[in-house]
Each structure stands twice: as structure tokens, then as C-alpha cells.
Amino acid sequence: MTTKAFTKEGLVEALFDLDIADSIVRTVDDQVANSVLYKQKLLGADPGTAYWVFRDAGDNEGLDAARKRFIETDPRTAYWAFRDAGDNEGLDIARKRFIETYPGTAYRAFRDAGDNEGLKLVGHQLLETDPGTA
């Protein structure tokens, strides 16, 4: 084992290499949670978990990056996560991406959630792209 394994960055890298990061991610100390390598690895591995970790830690910079990555990779799950978290900033962006990516699914999700703002947005999108279905 190299000395790198005993540094913060080495520990984080080793944990991700062993694929056990999910089980320890919420118990990582503040120093490791704030490391740039940790943030990058977590964002790349699981943007959904990264969103909750950075949100719970009050890390606005990490939270912004996690929102963006989460929406890019899975707008449907991001929509529900932001809705559950009461994250209006993330929710506005997720709605738009969800509609762009899956307009029919977005409509059903917004309808099921009672999300009138989302329904308005999806209605406008459907009118622009396919007036016959709106």
C-alpha cells in the first residue's frame, strides 16, 4: 500500500475503488466532505447522493454542481428529489429538462404530483411541438 492511501484523497479514492462509498458517504467527516476530489468522485459516481450530501452539509457550491449533474443524468428522479426537498431553484430547472427529455412522462408526473406550474410548462411545450396532443 502506498502512502497516498493514508491521505484524505487516497482514502476517498480507495473507498470508491472498493465500491463501498454508498455505505460511508453520510458519515464522512467535514474535512473529507469538503475535499475537491471527494466532490468530483461523488458527483461522477452518484449525483443523486451527492445532491443530498451537499444539501445536508450546507455546501452551496457542491449543491449547485450536484443539481446540474443530477438533472443532466436523470431529470425524472431529480424532479422528484427536488420536489421532496422543497428545492424550488432545482425544481424549476428540473421541470424544464424533464419536459425537454420526456414530455409525456413529465405531464403524467406533474399531473400525479398536482404540480400546476409543471402542467402549465408542459402544456406550452406540447403546443409548440405537437399541437394535436396538447
Answer yes or no: is pLDDT of 62 > 70.
Answer: yes
Distance CA 47, CA 119 (A): 26
**Dihedral sign of CA atoms 63, 68, 71, 72 in order:** negative
Please, are residues 80 and 91 in contact by the beta-carbon 8 Å criterion?
Answer: no
Mean pLDDT of 27-35: 59
Of residues 19 and 43, more confidence is placed in 43
Distance CA 58, CA 43 (A): 16
Please, are residues 134 and 126 in contact by the beta-carbon 8 Å criterion?
Answer: yes
What pLDDT, on a 0 to 100 scale, did the predictor assign at position 120? 92
Answer yes or no: is pLDDT of 113 > 80.
Answer: yes
Record the pTM.
Answer: 0.67
